[in-house]
Amino acid sequence: METKFPPPVPTPTEDSQPFWDGCKRRELLILKCDACGHYWFPPSVLCPKCMSMNRQWVKASGKAKVYSWTIFHQLYYPSFADKIPYNVAIVELEEGPRMHSNIVECRNEDIYIDMPLELVWGSKLKILIGTCPSTSQRPGNRSLSKPQKENEMSAVIYEKKDHIAIVTISMPWMTR
Amino acid sequence: MNPKDTCAIAGVGLTKLARRTPGVSSIGFTLEGCKRAIEDAGLTKDDVDGLLVVAPTQAGERHGWATRIAAYLGISSNFTAAVECGGATPTVMVQMATMAINAGMCHTVVCCYGWQNNPVDVPPSLPPGLEFTLPYGDLAAIPFKAQIARRHMHDFGTTSKQLGAVAVAFRKHANMNPNAQMYGKPMTLEDHQNSRWVVEPLRLFDCCLLTDGGGAVVVTSAERAKDMKNRPVYISGWGQAHSAEFMSPWRDPQVKGWEGGKAADQAFNMAGLTRKDIDVCQFYDGFTILVIIELEAYGFCKMGEGGPFVEDGRLELGGELPSNTAGGLLSEGHTFGMAHIVEGVRQLRGECGERQAKDAETAFITGYGGAPHEYPPTLSYSTLILRR
Ligand SMILES: [Zn+2]
């Protein structure tokens, strides 16, 4: 169901532009320190462990786990009205950094801390947070970064034509 | 030099606190709070030579905010700043005032705030910096605290009923405070458990109120305070701790303890006191879970034991650690924590009537703030120890 109120589109900064450019290419990029090997997010010009400014954008594996999670019952932003109740999680990437995400293809009540997650990319103009196939239909090992087919249950949060897709760390590849 | 007891709080003031107060601006509330505090100290505005104010965070550029407040008050000040550490700001301002007075910059500083939730001159708008949260439907202060609560429940078995015990205790106190927004509105644990989810696992009654209002405290040198109208309430110790602990895997609170421990250790060392010496507490209680975490962080109980600690009325008047005796942010009103300092001072002066903590000689007051929905999400702890 399309919402009349447009979903929020991220506004990149000078620091985060490469991250969002990576999302367009279906690459989840984080920063890696040349000096100490630390990975960090959100993007910034120096390593928060050693202050080195020598850094690379690297592709994260896309493997992650749930650090914590919540269910939104109150409407904070109009475009999410028909998604309530929806989940917002803090996920921890295999490389270390934590970030907000939605967990898709999973019922809210099935989410648990340390749940293994895998990166999926959205490909549709719809928000599908809070809907998912039943447990028996939940996909098993799905290859990383493989765009979902149209009309398939997908991880998309928002994609504006060929502009920006929002990365979603989602989909348990193992069940409890 | 140990700044212990070099300064005192000589005056405190709060405006009426209410959910909606059309017709009064943030500046209006701020000025009325200052007037009340300055008059409570028995001073005039001309006795004040410093001003600190909570920086406004509503949209729009607000250059020179503190200087403008001073100008509206008709004060020419030697020390002025707008300060922004979220809910830690009022306690941080009292610390800064003490430092400025000890540095000889000024002798009497009014620390103030004022807040109008629906200012007519500021159209509703989103702040910048939400690129990593809003697209997922995440916005405002509650969700990040819900993430922290979920993790606490997972790691330590904390329950929603334990969160409710905090809310119920402070509501009882609010019902002894005619200026509290929830005065005359009792709440049971059952009411708490029946309140709707806002962001699960936080319910409506786990969240603080929305409040239009203002308040201030007057900080002056101990020397000057001796000759003022009220019995001086000395500033004996303080500390701060700021970090992105919850988002930093190398600094996990579950493993390394809450960052806020440093803010308390510093304060107790400065004051030469222990936790056992504290008679009354005012914990920053934007959300019930924060009180549980602060009790652990500040060493009133062990890590993970905050849930059981708040049961059985331990935080209630007559309990082991009477806390938030005016109702707190949960039931008195959201004052950014300014009312916590005001109430701490009133308790130590023995002015609190029905809600007076018995023989209160020392008070532990906290602030807790940060930028939970702007990346990287951060948390700020701040503490004050006051004594009479
Ligand atoms: Zn480094």
CATH number assigned to the domain comprising residue B357: 3.40.47.10
- What is the rounded average pLDDT for all residues in chain B? 95
Residues A39 and A73 in one domain: no
Supply the pLDDT for residue B13: 98
In a domain, B238, yes or no: yes
Closest-CA residue of chain A to B375: A42
pLDDT band at B86; cut points 50, 70, 90: very high
Cis amide bond preceding A133, omega within 30: no
* Range with lowest mean pLDDT among A148-162, B15-29, B95-109: A148-162
Cβ-Cβ pairs closer than 8 A, A with B, add up to 97
Expressed as residue numbers, the domain containing B168 is 130-207+233-387
Asked if B189 and B45 sit in the same domain, the reply is no
* ipTM over cut 0.90: yes
Same domain as B251, residue B381: yes
In a domain, A11, yes or no: no
Say yes or no: B127 contacts chain A, CB-CB below 8 A.
no
Q: Taking each helix axis from N to C terminus, what angle separates B89-102 and B338-349, rounded to the nearest 10 degrees?
A: 70
Can you give the pTM of this predicted structure?
Answer: 0.90
Q: Which of residues 130 through 149 in chain B touch A, CB cutoff 8 A? A: 130-140, 142-143, 146-148
Q: Which of residues 241-280 of B touch A (CB under 8 A)?
A: 246-250
CB contact under 8 A, B137 and A77: yes
B384: tokens are 């004050």
Query: Do the chains contact at B197 and A73, CB–CB below 8 Å?
Result: yes
> Measured between alpha carbons, how far is B236 from B271 in angstroms, rounded to an integer?
5
Looking at the 3D structure of chain A, how many domains does it have?
A: 2
Q: Which of A8, A43, A59 is the last residue of a domain?
A: A59
Same domain (yes/no): A33, A114: no
Average pLDDT over chain A, rounded to whole? 71
Burial annotation A106-132 (CB, 10 A radius, 16+ → b, else e): bebeebeeebebbbbbbbbebbbbbeb
CA-based nearest residue to A68, from B256, B367, B254, B88:
B254
* B104 and B172, same domain (yes or no): no
Closest Cβ opposite residue A88 in set B128, B136, B375? B136
The pLDDT score that the predictor gives to residue B18 is 97
**Within a domain: residue A9?**
no
- Which structure tokens are listed for B222? 């101990």
Mean pLDDT calculated for residue range A121-145: 34
Window from B4-18, B109-123, B164-178, B330-344 with minimum mean pLDDT: B109-123
Task: Note whether B200 contacts A83, CB cutoff 8 Å.
Answer: no
Domain final residue pick, B225, B257, B282: B225
Which of chain B's residues have a Cβ under 8 Å away from the Cβ of A80?
A: 137
Structural domain count of chain B: 2
3 state DSSP class of B113 = strand
The amino acid present at B6, given as its one-letter code, is: T
CB B294 within 8 A of CB B284: yes
Structure tokens at B183: 């005065």
Bridge partners for B79 per DSSP = B50
Is B207's Cβ below 8 Å from some Cβ in A? no
- Sign of dihedral through CA atoms B114, B119, B122, B128? positive
In this structure, are residues B17 and B212 in contact, taking their beta carbons and an 8 Å threshold? yes
**From residue B312, how far is each of B192, B195, B317, B320 by CA, in Å?**
16, 21, 12, 10
Task: Tell me which residue has tokens 């701040």.
Answer: B382
Name the amino acid, one letter, at A69. W
Residue contact B135–A157, C-beta within 8 A: yes
Instruction: With CA atoms as reference, report the closest residue to B217 among B78, B365, B86, B68.
Output: B365
pLDDT tens-digit profile of B358-381?
999 999 999 999 887 788 999 999
